[in-house]
A and B are shown apart, each in its own frame.
Chain A
Amino acid sequence: MSSSPAPNPTKRQKRIDYRNAVHQDALPQKRYYRQRAHANPFSDHRLSYPLSPAEMDWSDYFPAYFSKKRKLDDTTDDSVESEQPPADSNNGTTLDRKKVEVADIGCGFGGLLISLAPTFPDTLILGMEIRTQVTAYVQDRINALRTQSLSRKGGDQEEVPGGYQNIGVIRGNAMKFLPNFFEKHQLSKMFFCFPDPHFKARKHKARIISPTLLSEYAYILRPGGIIYTITDVEDLHLWMAKHLDEHPMFERLPEEEQEEDVCVKIMRTDTEEGKKVARNKGSKWVACFRKIEDPI
């Protein structure tokens, strides 16, 4: 019933102690954030999500790119556009000009995010993860990387493009609440890396790729936007490819184009699961699909 009971009190205490300690710019250690690999996507959890994309305050996740939203008593005609966006002294860009364009659905421990960050330093990339502990790990990891990156500034070490300011992580249920976060056609890329296979037939509705959910992804993706999938479970790969193939809003990326895509390379080598599969010498199955123009 409780969200994540640690199996024994000492372990739990260790976690608490670890979290309370100040780590400066040290990267977090995974062993203090382990959580069961499955979450029920149909249950309510205790999620927080905005009423609508317009209500979302992104400044907690991308402080270098967004100003804090004003909290007004009357939210019905609340809009930030009346305000002059303040200039950000840190990187010389103006705030509130960018939108999240890439989503890593079920980002796990965040390997993909961290590799994508310097690859697309000017693109805002959001990881979504349903497990609280894992989300906390990724958040701590991003914070540490940001701090490290700042301290490198002006130093002799090479600067990381974007300084990890362009990635964020949020705890959420993407199967239920994507339209609360993203507007129509907001995203250019969506990643589904090593999703829960949900082997049993009666659990297939819980799979992250399903005919009905694909319509929602198609709504959020702009025409030409790409869905990337990778899994080490062949059955799931076939399932995902089949449903994407059959969905009228998606067309498969030609093999050539797929193999040239830098995201595919990163997805193969830099996700945590991808590394694990490689260690175990397993196979990895990739399928990428492009969203076509809206027919109406």
Chain B
Amino acid sequence: MPSRRHPVQALALAGPNPPNVYLAIADTLYCVSNTSSKVVATWKAPAPPLQGKQPQKKPVANDTVKADGLSTGPSAADTSVTDSAADSPSSLPATVVGKRKRSQSNASAPQPSIPPAEGVDAKPAAPGSKSSKKNKKSGNEGGGAGSSALKKQPLNYIGHLLFIPSKNVLAVTTLEDKTLRLLNPDTLEVVKEWPLHKRPSAISLMDDGYTILVGDKFGDVYSYKPADEEAEAQGKLLLGHVSLLTTLTSSSSNNGTSERKFVITADRDEHIRVTNYPLTHVIHGFCLAHTAFVSRLLVTADNLLVSGGGDDWLGVWNWKDGELLQQVDVRGVVEELFTGEEMKELVGKMKEYHPQRRRMREDDAMQEEKEDDDETISLAVNEIVEVNVPGRERGKEIVVTLEGVPVLLRYAYGATGKLEYAGSVRTPGPVISLTVHNSTVYLGCDSESGGLISRVDLADPGASLDDFLSGAGFEGPEVGEENAGVVIERLYSVEGFRKGFGGLGDDD
């Protein structure tokens, strides 16, 4: 297939009832009216600043390669800065060389660039001429000219969407320029922006209703306050893990006399930490039992913590005491839903999402005759949400999705108060993004069939999916075959947290 649909990687709802739907596809955000199913506003993330690690040689004939890698985008307002910015190393403007430099707020402003001189790009400049810069890569530069010529500026992917009702703004993070922006939900104009310290990996709203918490790949959590009266130019460092921060949430507890607030964070090293807020230098406790990364946390309406990650189960916690109340089976459910050829196909497909992991497996298999566990599905929770379903015990359901697995798993409280598996909804493809409004779940799937966004009302006994955008004629941009790998890397990132497969942090 020459090209494929780019799935929606982030979803949010905001506005009147029924709310408008905000969907992020690659670097573009669309606002879709819930009544007309029409796109009413779009916003495209500015091209990211050039990174210090970019190939410093002028890529041959790069001008013809579109920097954003997507063939058709409805809004092509912003032009890419890569096309002519980097010609010869000596002419690189100082502002784009530093690793930590970021673009100005108006990032579409053209970078100062010197027109390429003839012949500069004909052959790699002698490494010795780049006197002022450290150039560890000089070896690669000469040899790998062919591959580096094709290297493109990465798209400024949108990472997270978070609607803040109390301020009527939509918080958006972008991964390449590492920026948190607040957008007007109607016009999608940027109202405010903060540069982030590192690439954001998690975002959450403090239960005061307006403080935004952003966790990053270095394990730190910063808070940002959108209120004008407390507008701060910089985020405030609240806490840090020495690990990739995978997810965070917040909660409070009331002992009758006073209410205390807490930030709950999780990392790649199996930890769930409960920290006091605003006195974040006082750690309240840890919830320890997971044997693999923790990738999702949910505080339920009953103030229980549900955790999921690379384990075969979900944890249900009394988070205040660090007490594991229940381990809810996931593997058994998945292995019952997918059997035989279907499971085989699923496992095969999931291996494609993690080429590096696959390589390591092959290495392992060669070195030691390891038993090939290829048949066993690797589980990685990528979403846990609570849904209002009137018919259920406590009127709630917990819905869980797993990376690469085309199903919504429904869990409900049994008579004993324990969470129990309560059915599933098959989806057209692996669920990439998901959001909830009352009893309705909106989801973006990685699939050529079905809607770009599907919708299912879990209060409806039939609970079948419908195509939310049906008839709107909106399909989003397409991904060319040559970029499929890049897109997959972005969309299927959770399994990469697992240890021992040559992924993150594996260097000994």
Contacts from A to B (Cβ < 8 Å): 1-3, 40-46, 51-52, 76, 173, 175-177, 179-180, 184, 205, 210-216, 218-219, 247-249, 294-296
Provide 8 A-B residue pairs closer than 8 Å at the C-beta atoms, listed in order of the A residue. Answer: A1-B508, A2-B508, A43-B505, A179-B288, A184-B285, A205-B218, A205-B242, A296-B260
Partner of A51, one of B260, B279, B283, B291: B291
Which residues on B sit within 8 Å (CB–CB) of A248?
A: 279, 281
In the A-B complex, list the 10 residue pairs whose CB atoms are closest, starting with the nearest: A212-B240, A52-B288, A219-B283, A175-B242, A43-B507, A44-B505, A215-B281, A43-B505, A179-B286, A176-B242
Supposing A3-B508, A248-B281, A249-B281 touch, asked if A213 and B242 sit within 8 A by C-beta, the answer is: yes
Assembled-state Cα–Cα distance A3/B242 (Å): 21
Contacting pair B271 A179 (CB below 8 A): yes
Contacting pair B508 A46 (CB below 8 A): yes
Minimum CB distance partner of B507 in chain A:
A43
Contacting pair A218 B282 (CB below 8 A): yes
B448 CB, min distance to chain A CBs, angstroms:
37
Contacting pair B242 A51 (CB below 8 A): no
CB of B499 closer than 8 Å to a CB of A: yes
Assembled-state Cα–Cα distance A247/B283 (Å): 13
Q: At the interface, is chain A mostly helix, strand, loop or mixed?
A: loop
B170 CB, min distance to chain A CBs, angstroms:
29
Supposing A176-B242, A205-B218 touch, asked if A295 and B507 sit within 8 A by C-beta, the answer is: no
Which residues on A sit within 8 Å (CB–CB) of B282?
A: 215, 218-219, 249, 294-296
Minimum CB distance partner of B500 in chain A:
A44
CB of B220 closer than 8 Å to a CB of A: yes
Assembled-state Cα–Cα distance A245/B124 (Å): 51
Partner of B505, one of A42, A180, A219, A249: A42
Supposing A51-B288, A296-B276 touch, asked if A176 and B243 sit within 8 A by C-beta, the answer is: yes
Assembled-state Cα–Cα distance A212/B507 (Å): 24
A interface footprint on B225-262 (CB within 8 Å = 1, 0 otherwise): 00000000000010111110000000000000000100
Contacting pair A40 B507 (CB below 8 A): yes
Assembled-state Cα–Cα distance A42/B507 (Å): 9
- In the complex, given contacts A43-B508, A179-B271, A215-B280, what are 12 additional A-B residue pairs having Cβ atoms less than 8 angstroms apart? A1-B508, A42-B242, A43-B505, A52-B289, A176-B241, A176-B242, A210-B240, A211-B240, A212-B240, A215-B281, A215-B282, A294-B282
Assembled-state Cα–Cα distance A42/B243 (Å): 7
Contacting pair B239 A212 (CB below 8 A): yes
Contacts from B to A (Cβ < 8 Å): 218-220, 237, 239-243, 260, 269-271, 273, 275-276, 279-283, 285-286, 288-291, 324, 327, 499-500, 505-508
B236 CB, min distance to chain A CBs, angstroms:
12
Assembled-state Cα–Cα distance A248/B291 (Å): 33
Minimum CB distance partner of A247 in chain B:
B281
Assembled-state Cα–Cα distance A240/B507 (Å): 28
Supposing A44-B505, A51-B291 touch, asked if A177 and B218 sit within 8 A by C-beta, the answer is: no
B477 CB, min distance to chain A CBs, angstroms:
36
Assembled-state Cα–Cα distance A52/B323 (Å): 11
Contacting pair A213 B505 (CB below 8 A): no
Assembled-state Cα–Cα distance A230/B160 (Å): 43
Contacting pair B237 A44 (CB below 8 A): no
Which residues on B sit within 8 Å (CB–CB) of A176?
A: 241-243, 269
Most A CB within 10 A of own CB, among B285, B290, B508: B508
Which residues on B sit within 8 Å (CB–CB) of A249?
A: 281-282
Contacting pair B283 A218 (CB below 8 A): yes
Contacting pair B507 A180 (CB below 8 A): no
Minimum CB distance partner of B504 in chain A:
A44
Partner of A212, one of B220, B276, B291, B500: B220
Minimum CB distance partner of A46 in chain B:
B508
Contacting pair A213 B271 (CB below 8 A): no
Which residues on A sit within 8 Å (CB–CB) of B279?
A: 248, 295-296
Assembled-state Cα–Cα distance A216/B239 (Å): 9
Which residues on A sit within 8 Å (CB–CB) of B289?
A: 51-52
Supposing A51-B291, A296-B282 touch, asked if A213 and B243 sit within 8 A by C-beta, the answer is: no
Which residues on B sit within 8 Å (CB–CB) of A41?
A: 242
Which residues on A sit within 8 Å (CB–CB) of B280?
A: 215
Contacting pair B288 A211 (CB below 8 A): no
Assembled-state Cα–Cα distance A49/B121 (Å): 53
Contacting pair B239 A215 (CB below 8 A): yes
Assembled-state Cα–Cα distance A211/B238 (Å): 10
Supposing A179-B286, A215-B283, A296-B260 touch, asked if A44 and B220 sit within 8 A by C-beta, the answer is: no
A44 CB, min distance to chain B CBs, angstroms:
5
B101 CB, min distance to chain A CBs, angstroms:
14
Minimum CB distance partner of B258 in chain A:
A296
